[in-house]
A and B are shown apart, each in its own frame.
Chain A
């Protein structure tokens, strides 16, 4: 008996069979199926028999054998479907304006949804190409800075090697550190960034090579290039075996043999490399590099484990390193705890202080914005559809009446309307997909230049997403009209006693919501556009327009170059510094009685403030003679506000004392706040210290206004005359923020496009609604005209019902838009234009103009029409 139990037919197909086969056939067919099944079990295998059983079950899926499932039989009538399809098509062609509004609106909204999808997919796919994304982890630590615990993606130098020795679970370990170098091959000499990494780097990360073998990274004399760099130095040819000179600094350089070229990296990545050399090269390139110094950090340490549970073991064992670190370093650098971040999700972290991995956090925020916008656009389009469907239902009363009287139930009418909707939405979806793939996505990629969202039509999830959108949209837009239209009684319809559509309150609610949404979009567009102008004109806190800078390899080079440039008539002042605004700073930890503070630190010379145009508000800048002011600092206003005044509430910070690394410093001056980096970063407490002359790495100079371009050329010319071996690296100070202003400009453009679409959709909806309304009242207006009604009367009659609606919509829309734009600007920018009423007022004016144009066009139409035609209408 047990044995027979074991070879029962598969349960699910059997249940399914019992569900759909006609009751009177069930015993026979089930018996036949079971007999065949048992034959097959004997002759073939159990698995195979089950498979055949399932297959045979599917072949039974025929109308003649199927139970008469109520409803299904009805719907399965092909003739009925054909009729529905025909009626929908006729309806579409009969009212081209309405069909256009519906299909176009839905298509644009779906196009935006497709774009949002492509963007989200691109963002989510970041780093997912790494084969070991689940088993590779980045070591990070938490430390207390400014009274808050922060996460850092760096690691103390010795940690990596110790982890590998101490834990058997650590399969692979790799340290990563970057350095700026000069790379030379034949005539090609450029400043580059080279990445030192352990040999496991190419095993842990999936960066396949185009030429060469990954294992060659083990050889300290090998170098691996990215495809881009290979093209830059060697063109199209295969560079394997060629030698390339890397100059680490002025004295040290090394010839490397090209041992590999990586294939073009996937577009969605948070990390890549230009040049890859073995980590051991630090021994020769930086003889002072101490691999065992707990005080120093390495840019990143990554480990690979066999399975995630091993990680818990490792995490538990991290305690001893904390103790070790605490013994080795000063109190302010103490690490609170260690943590590991999985490679798969590193790109999602927002606040990891790490120089190797780029965060996609902003992109995740953008996905949320885009999904909101996509949903709102769909809503706008659906409202249009619902309104038009309700109002134009009057035209189809007879059809519904006839259908009902020849036996259609309410269900069938609802089904008819919904299926009609699916037809329209499908049209819209095809157009929307084309719009998305050929307009929105390429347009957005074009805005950003090199961006490639890698949108593909053969992506399987897209074909889950699109039908889902289709279904949701057609149900959302179709369910109410179909319920509304189908509820009327046949007798009422045929007698003509049903008053239809004109007074439906929901129509007005929907129109109201459309106007509110349009108002929000316009406000956002106006404010984002104004914000980009505002930020472009916002003061950086110093004179960025008339300043040039250049990096120098050492003090000697600085002195040669500054001596030459000082003779130039348009150069007003020259400064040397170890750090530079917008290019480089270091961080220092201050000891104050209450706690430690982390601040930005710039080491500069005495004239730096004057050269850069930094305004000294209080106290004095550094004195211009050697060895003076070595223990003095100049601070910025935020420093005073956030740190000094919270400590002792003193108004005048000059003369304040604090310690850095046990040396006492005195505040001698305060400069006005300035933006080192873009406006997207809040101004941080900053201190200036006197730079040692040997530490000069930047030369900055103030030039006569209007002479920037010529002086820049002169600077480049002098450079190549002095140092033909070293490529020039410098620029206009106003360019140091890179793409920042471009990005802000793009935000403006994107919002303007959305606002334009929203206004168009709302306007079209409004137009369609009013047109239908006026058409439905043709006879009434004709009678009014015959009885002598003039412009005033007609205008009041048509616009009357919209005035109140408009007042309500705008009364809701204005405050909502104001609140939303404030929210978005605060979330998106650290510094932005103060939110005022211009956006809202512009939105209201635009909407008012749209309404006036729409209404007046209809009034004119009524006035021009001959009343006889109106009265002749049946």
Chain B
């Protein structure tokens, strides 16, 4: 992990970008995340997360095609960098490692619910 600061929301956005592949542009990312999180998100929060991660080197981007619906403006397609993939994998590993050390606790929690 070291200095790779990745916020919780940023991580979600990053995962969405990775999942959406070619389709990963602003509106689609927002739609996908809204479906999964079941809550409304603002354009501002998505955009600032994308820009921040681009600055940190988790994402690269290039212009895609323009559509009539967008008033002739081009999309920007985001791609997760290999570095981002590595960090995501690391994070997953750390988490599953942690989960595996507390099976009882997890069970109790589930039961008590």
Chain A interfacial positions (CB closer than 8 Å to B) = 25, 27-36, 38-39, 55-56, 58-62, 64-65
Complex: A30 Cα to B73 Cα, angstroms: 8
Chain A proximity mask over B65-80: 1 for CB below 8 Å, otherwise 0: 0110111011110000
Contact assessment for B48 and A36 in the assembled complex, using a CB-CB cutoff below 8 Å: no
Chain B interfacial positions (CB closer than 8 Å to A) = 25-27, 30, 42-45, 47-48, 51-52, 55, 63, 66-67, 69-71, 73-76
- 16 A-B pairs within 8 Å (CB atoms) are namely A25-B51, A27-B63, A29-B47, A30-B71, A32-B26, A32-B30, A33-B43, A34-B70, A35-B69, A35-B70, A39-B27, A59-B43, A59-B44, A60-B44, A64-B52, A65-B47
Q: For B30, B48, B71, which residue has the most chain A Cβ atoms within 10 angstroms?
A: B71
Complex: A28 Cα to B69 Cα, angstroms: 13
Which 8 A-B pairs give the minimum distances between C-beta atoms? A59-B44, A31-B73, A59-B42, A31-B70, A32-B26, A28-B76, A60-B44, A56-B43
Contact assessment for A28 and B43 in the assembled complex, using a CB-CB cutoff below 8 Å: no
Contact assessment for B43 and A34 in the assembled complex, using a CB-CB cutoff below 8 Å: no
Complex: A58 Cα to B44 Cα, angstroms: 8
Complex: A33 Cα to B43 Cα, angstroms: 8
- Contacts A35-B69, A38-B69, A65-B51 known; A29 to B43 CB distance under 8 Å? yes
Residue numbers in B under 8 Å from A27 (CB-CB): 63, 73-74, 76
Contact assessment for A34 and B71 in the assembled complex, using a CB-CB cutoff below 8 Å: yes
Complex: A452 Cα to B106 Cα, angstroms: 69
Complex: A65 Cα to B46 Cα, angstroms: 11
Complex: A32 Cα to B73 Cα, angstroms: 9
Residue numbers in A under 8 Å from B75 (CB-CB): 28, 31-32
Residue numbers in B under 8 Å from A55 (CB-CB): 42
Residue numbers in A under 8 Å from B26 (CB-CB): 28-29, 31-32
Residue numbers in A under 8 Å from B44 (CB-CB): 56, 58-62, 65
Contact assessment for B48 and A62 in the assembled complex, using a CB-CB cutoff below 8 Å: yes
Residue numbers in B under 8 Å from A33 (CB-CB): 43
Q: For A28, A30, A33, A65, which residue has the most chain B Cβ atoms within 10 angstroms?
A: A28
Residue numbers in A under 8 Å from B70 (CB-CB): 31-32, 34-35
Complex: A64 Cα to B63 Cα, angstroms: 20
Complex: A30 Cα to B43 Cα, angstroms: 11
Secondary structure class of chain A's binding surface, majority of residues: helix
Contact assessment for B73 and A65 in the assembled complex, using a CB-CB cutoff below 8 Å: no
Contact assessment for A34 and B73 in the assembled complex, using a CB-CB cutoff below 8 Å: yes
Residue numbers in B under 8 Å from A59 (CB-CB): 42-45
- Contacts A36-B27, A64-B52 known; A28 to B45 CB distance under 8 Å? no
Contact assessment for A64 and B48 in the assembled complex, using a CB-CB cutoff below 8 Å: yes
- Rounded to whole Å, the gap between the CB of A385 and the closest CB of chain B is 42
- Rounded to whole Å, the gap between the CB of B67 and the closest CB of chain A is 8
Complex: A56 Cα to B70 Cα, angstroms: 16
Residue numbers in B under 8 Å from A64 (CB-CB): 48, 51-52, 55
Q: For A27, A31, A58, which residue has the most chain B Cβ atoms within 10 angstroms?
A: A31
Residue numbers in B under 8 Å from A29 (CB-CB): 26, 43, 47
Contact assessment for B43 and A32 in the assembled complex, using a CB-CB cutoff below 8 Å: yes
Complex: A864 Cα to B25 Cα, angstroms: 81
Complex: A25 Cα to B51 Cα, angstroms: 9
Q: Which residue of A lies closest to B52 (CB)?
A: A64
Residue numbers in A under 8 Å from B66 (CB-CB): 31
- Rounded to whole Å, the gap between the CB of A60 and the closest CB of chain B is 4
Complex: A59 Cα to B73 Cα, angstroms: 21
Residue numbers in A under 8 Å from B52 (CB-CB): 64
Q: Which residue of B lies closest to A63 (CB)?
A: B48
Residue numbers in A under 8 Å from B47 (CB-CB): 25, 29, 32, 60, 62, 65
Complex: A64 Cα to B55 Cα, angstroms: 10
Residue numbers in B under 8 Å from A31 (CB-CB): 26, 66, 70-71, 73-75
- Rounded to whole Å, the gap between the CB of B6 and the closest CB of chain A is 16
Complex: A64 Cα to B47 Cα, angstroms: 9
Complex: A62 Cα to B44 Cα, angstroms: 7
Complex: A60 Cα to B48 Cα, angstroms: 8
Q: Which of B43, B51, B63 contacts A36 (CB 8 A)?
A: B43
- Rounded to whole Å, the gap between the CB of B3 and the closest CB of chain A is 19
- Rounded to whole Å, the gap between the CB of A644 and the closest CB of chain B is 87
Residue numbers in B under 8 Å from A38 (CB-CB): 69
Q: Which residue of B lies closest to A4 (CB)?
A: B68
Complex: A64 Cα to B52 Cα, angstroms: 7
Complex: A489 Cα to B90 Cα, angstroms: 57
Residue numbers in A under 8 Å from B74 (CB-CB): 27-28, 31
Q: Which residue of A lies closest to B43 (CB)?
A: A56
- Rounded to whole Å, the gap between the CB of B71 and the closest CB of chain A is 5
Contact assessment for A65 and B71 in the assembled complex, using a CB-CB cutoff below 8 Å: no
- Rounded to whole Å, the gap between the CB of A21 and the closest CB of chain B is 9
Complex: A1 Cα to B17 Cα, angstroms: 34
- Rounded to whole Å, the gap between the CB of B39 and the closest CB of chain A is 14
Contact assessment for A28 and B51 in the assembled complex, using a CB-CB cutoff below 8 Å: no
Complex: A27 Cα to B74 Cα, angstroms: 7
Q: Which residue of B lies closest to A27 (CB)?
A: B73
Complex: A34 Cα to B73 Cα, angstroms: 9
- Rounded to whole Å, the gap between the CB of B81 and the closest CB of chain A is 19
Residue numbers in B under 8 Å from A30 (CB-CB): 71, 73
Complex: A65 Cα to B63 Cα, angstroms: 18
- Rounded to whole Å, the gap between the CB of A4 and the closest CB of chain B is 8
- Rounded to whole Å, the gap between the CB of B48 and the closest CB of chain A is 5
Residue numbers in A under 8 Å from B45 (CB-CB): 59
